[in-house]
Structures are given as C-alpha cells and as structure tokens.
Structure 1
Amino acid sequence: MLNVLQFLGGSGISLLLLASIAAGAGTGHFSPDSSTWLSDRVDATLLLLIGLLFFGVRFNAIVRALGHLRFIAVALLANFVLVPCIGWAIASLVLPEHPLLMVGLVIYFMSPCTDWFLGFTRLAKGNVALGTALIPINMVVQLLLYPLYLHWFTRNIVPVEADLIGQTLLQWFLLPLVVATAAHHILRRLLAPARFARLLAMADHTTPWVIALLVMEIFAANIDTIVAYRGVFGWLLLAVFLFFIATFVLGEALSRMAGLRYPEHALLTLTIAARNAPLMLAISMAALPDQPLIHAAIVIGMLLEFPHLTLLRQLLLRSQTHARYHHSTAGAETIPTH
C-alpha cells in the first residue's frame, strides 16, 4: 500500500475522495441494483471504519500531556469552544437557505482530527509526542460533546432525541471503543514491538480506503437527492475555505498570546485546522441515518482539507526558517566589533 505520509503530502486523499464520489455517483445513476447492494453494506463499512479509528488510538499517551497542561488548556479552548462557534457562524452565514447542508458543515467543523493531523505535524516539525497525547483527549471529549453540539447548533433543524443519540453512541461507539482498545493492548503484549508497529501502520494505511468505500456507498445510494443540490456545493466549498482562513488566524493569535515555541505552535495550528471527518461521518450516519445531504456536506468538507493542510505545512516551515534567519541576523548584529 501507499505510504500514508506521502499519500497525505500529495493531497492524495482528496483525489481518492473525488474518485469515490464519481464512482458512487456513476454506480447509483447507471446501475441501481449495484447501488442497492452497496447501500446494504454501509453498516458493515461503518463498523470497520470505527474499529480502525479506535484501534489506532494510543490512550496510554495521555500521561505525556501532564507536563503540558497550559498547552492542553489552550488546545481544548480552541477546539471545543472557539472553533465550533466560528464554524457555526460561517455555516449559518453562507448556507442559511439550506439547513441540512448547514448542519452537515457544522458537524464537520465542530470536532478536531484524531488521526492524520499527526502526520502533517511530523512533516511540519511540530511536537509529535504531545500531539499523540492530544489524540485520545480529543477523541473522548468530542464523543461526549456530540449530542450537546447537535442540540445547540442545529436549532432543531433535524430531530435530535437525546436518548436515541445516547443509545447510538453506546452501541456504535462505546462498545467498539472498548473492544478496539482491548485488542490494541492485548496485541501490544502478545506481539513483538516491530510486528505490532507494522500492524498499527497497516491499520493507518487501510483507513483512507475504507473512508473511500463508505463515500462511494453514500453517493451510490443517494445520488438523486445529492444531485438535486449540486448547485449549492460551490457554496459549501466557500464555507470550508473561509473556515480554514479563520482557524489559521485563530491559531496564530493563540500561539502568540500563549507564547508557544515553534513545535507547539505548529501542533496547535494543525490540530485546529484538521477536522475529524471520518468519525463525524460515522457518527452522523449512525445517529442520523436518513440524512444524505448532511453526510454529503461532511464529505465535501474533506475535499479541501488535505490541500489546505499541505499548504499549512509549507507556511509553518517557511515561518520557522524566517524566524531562524531573523534570530541569527539579530545575533550577528550584537557581536561587538573592534
């Protein structure tokens, strides 16, 4: 399989998603029987995706966060208070006449990434160890906040029953989380470190392809509904573009206010920018199963995310080089001459 970092660095995920959308749309339009067959396997694909996402989470990394409580506090404030409010404001401004698509964007905006942002953090020479500790924290907090966010930000656009959402989270996410975490720790003990590392890498490599399969199934099963709103997808992309600009400005401001060093600055910028679209797509398909426009909006959000993260990496590395140049120049100017 392709190396994940190379794949991400080349915005391969966006191309894979586009291919999946095209394949699903073509299947749904030209072969209704095949689209029915694909839609009948959505639940199995969801469970596979959820299992892969949870299996790769290193919950024992939380102990690394204990020495960086100030950074964790800033990241939590940004990811779970400021960024959801920014996302809701942008989605409400751009798509007020299309409430279901607006809800899909809000769901996409409200949860920070728990997987591939770490690859970009490594490429940007950010604090990867601290980012690893941030992943399980983000995972747990966003699962707990999902029903609250859905209630607060949707204005009852879609029916949200707290008991049903809670039951869905229990059956589809808490139980798979327990099973996947147990499997993670059991296999870690049974396998040699090198073999277990290869197993984790295999799970990471498989995840984008499972996401692509799920996207193809969504578009194959709901192509008629999605095509009816094709003229709005440009506005969706505009909203995502505005969101990425706003979160970049937020990351720069918070990094300066908190006086973060470059490795933590890069990590904060990328965790604010990257969204947890796979998990949000899985949750929304389980909790809101008959809302293809909401699901499509989350998928569309992913299209710009990877080119954006690639650009962010370049900007961060350039800013680091620029800062080092000015620091060395300033140091040279203070050397006394005789």
Structure 2
Amino acid sequence: MINRLNKFMMLCGRAVTTACFVTMLSMTVQAQSFPSAPVTFIVPGPAGSGTDQIARLLADQFTKIWNQSVVVENRAGASGSLGVQMLMRAKPDGYTIMIGHVSTHGIVPALRKPKPYDPFTDFAPIGEIGSSSNILVITPDKNIKTLDEWVAASKTKNSVSYGSPGIGLSQHFDGYSFGKKFNVEVLHIPYKGTGPAVNDLLGGRIDMMFVTPPAVMPLVNSGKLVALAQTSETRQMAFSNVPTFKELGYDDLINKTWWGLFAPLGTPRNIVEKLHESLLSALQNDSVRKGLELLVVDPAPPKSSADFGDFVRKDYQRWVDLVQQSGITVN
C-alpha cells in the first residue's frame, strides 16, 4: 500500500513538473513570436495632440522593430479616462497597449471622487517614454526679465490672474503652487484649450501662464512672450537659456510632465519585458529622438518596468497630497 502511494506521489510530481515545463516553454515561445498579429496602441486623447504625436512616433518605430502593423486608436474624453477604460477592458495578451501620462496616471485618479481606477495596481507598467515641463511666461510689456522681478511685481497687485487649458490640469496646479509659494493671491481662469488662453495672455486679459513648451516656443523665440522659469528638474534642451525653479532655489515647484507605456493588468511578465525592450530600442532611434526633440520631450533614461511602476506610484501620491492641499475639485 505504501509502495503504491509512493509511486502515485512520484507520478504526480512528474506530471506537475512536466506541466510546469510545458507552461514555461509555451510562454517562452509566445514571447519569442510576439507580436504575430497587429497591435492596438491606445491614445487617450485627440488626434494631433502632443500625446498623439508621441504615440505615432513610437508606433512607426514599433512597426519596423516587430515587422508587424501597429494601429493607433484615439479615445479622447473625460481627461483621458475613456482611453484608460478601453485598456482595462482589453485582453491581457500584449496586443493592446496604451500611452499614459501624468494626467491619466497622476492627476485624474487623485482628483476625481470616487477614484475611477488605481494608476499603480490596475495596470502593467511597461516603461517611461520621456518628460517635459511647463514654462512660466508673461508678456514683454511688463519690462520684467527674471522670476524674482515678477514675484516682486506680483506682490504689489491685489491678485494675479493666470490661464490654463482647463480645471484640474497640471497648468492649473502650477499656478496654485506659485501663489502658495510666493504668498501671492492668484485668480485661475480656465479655458477650453491652450490656444484661447495664450491669445488672452498676448492681449493683456490675463497676467501669466504656465504652459506646455511647444505651444509657446515660437512666441518666446520671437520675443512676443518672456519665459521666466520652467518646472522641470533640469533645463530642457529647447529652453536651455531659461532657468528651472529648482536651480533658483524653489525645489517644491518641480512638476514633471511625463509619458509612459502601459498594458492591461495580467499581461504575462515575459510579454511586458518584450514590450519594454522594444521601447528602449525605439528610444535609441535617431528619428524618434529627433521627433521627441521637436515636441520638447526629453527621452527617459533607461529604467526597468518595475522602476517605472515605482515612479508612477510615487508620482500619484504626490498628486494626492497636492489635491488635498489645494482643495481643487472637478464636477
């Protein structure tokens, strides 16, 4: 009886070992052959947006790396949440990925109640693409050249008005942080997009703006706007003559705008790693780097998927804290 039991246990052990080996072999073959069909690349924003342009740069390069077509699908709406929901409903096999950013995985889940999703635990992070920052700009008629001069001038006003592309966006929070840091009363004027806000700034109807670099680079270069500081940790190449808040001594005004790739939760680890390797390869391509440079996006230094996930978790917590401090809400 004991011998039969021992033989049965040995057979079970061999069966389990064989099953594990077959599973591992299947996963290895799956990763090696991935992708063997078109890949859908979700963009949680409209065609032509900065995020869309970054995604299409990568999609073109992925097509060359994989020798497989990559279909870009724009899902604009609800501050990117519609695209996020599409990713969460997708099959976790690596054939649907999404370009996320500071709004979809930082601001939105921190700002909206109830929290629509968890930016860290509800996704499989692949890797960071790059980052940029907002630029503080004013008009030249103020005869102000430095941040300190502008802070001093702001303190003489009852309030300083600033525009943003909408309530709850990073530019909105940057203006709030400016007022809090320098003890200046600020009045937020939300617009439907960056363009109308910049037009009102040029027309003297608002006092200042924190704005994405591509939207104002020609205006700064032509002298129609004056750039005083940028919110990145280090100077961006396109604005190498503009100091950062950090180097001016205001570390708490750092606000990084970032982009990264995500897969649905449950995507096999080896597939995530294959996607991660493809991303690192794409970011080394000269045409991709040139395209990102034109968009004023600094390519991210190589980091693992796990490290990127840790970054997303920490950045999300930073936004949770900022939302609580500011009291900013959305309907």
TM-score normalised by L of structure 2: 0.26
Question: Which structure's CA Rg is the greater one?
Answer: 2
Greater strand share, structure number: 2
Q: Work out which structure has the larger RCO, using CA pairs closer than 8 Å and 6 or more positions apart in sequence.
A: 1
Greater helix share, structure number: 1
TM-score normalised by L of structure 1: 0.25
